[in-house]
Structure 1
């Protein structure tokens, strides 16, 4: 996926907003971080990458 860094920045901003304004607790952040690392090393990682790539292409494609 060539849009990895901007996507990471967008997700990071969304997490910061959730933490700052919605009341996301620190342990929720840690739990999501650990889940993400475990998911990235699982057999589902390529499928998730293809799904995200398809979604980003769909959003960025001009009709």
Structure 2
């Protein structure tokens, strides 16, 4: 089984969006800044818990 850090996967998705889908680098920077400030807010723990639950459910799927 191969595991990748979620940060690496998200960085790859952003890179692909910038390269292939016309996402402007300035828009990507705004998204990163939004994520940075969102992580410091009171909604960060529920978001983190939801993402962890989703990733755990996905990892249990048998394809």
Q: How many residues are matched?
A: 60
Runs of 4+ aligned structure 1 residues displaced above 4 Å come to: none
Instruction: Identify, as 1 or 2, the structure richer in helix.
Output: 1
| Unmatched tracts of structure 1, length 5 or more | none
| Higher RCO (CA < 8 A, seq sep 6+) | 1
RMSD over aligned CA atoms reads: 1.5
Q: Deviations over 1:20-39 (max 9, x none)?
A: 00011011011001100110
TM superposition score normalised by structure 2: 0.87
1:62 deviation in Å?
Answer: 4.2
Normalised to the residue count of structure 1, the TM-score between the two structures is: 0.87
5+ residue gaps, structure 2, are none
> Which residue of the partner structure matches residue 32 of structure 2?
33
For 1:62 and 1:34, the matched residues in 2 are separated by 33
Q: Which residue of 2 aligns with 1:61?
A: 60
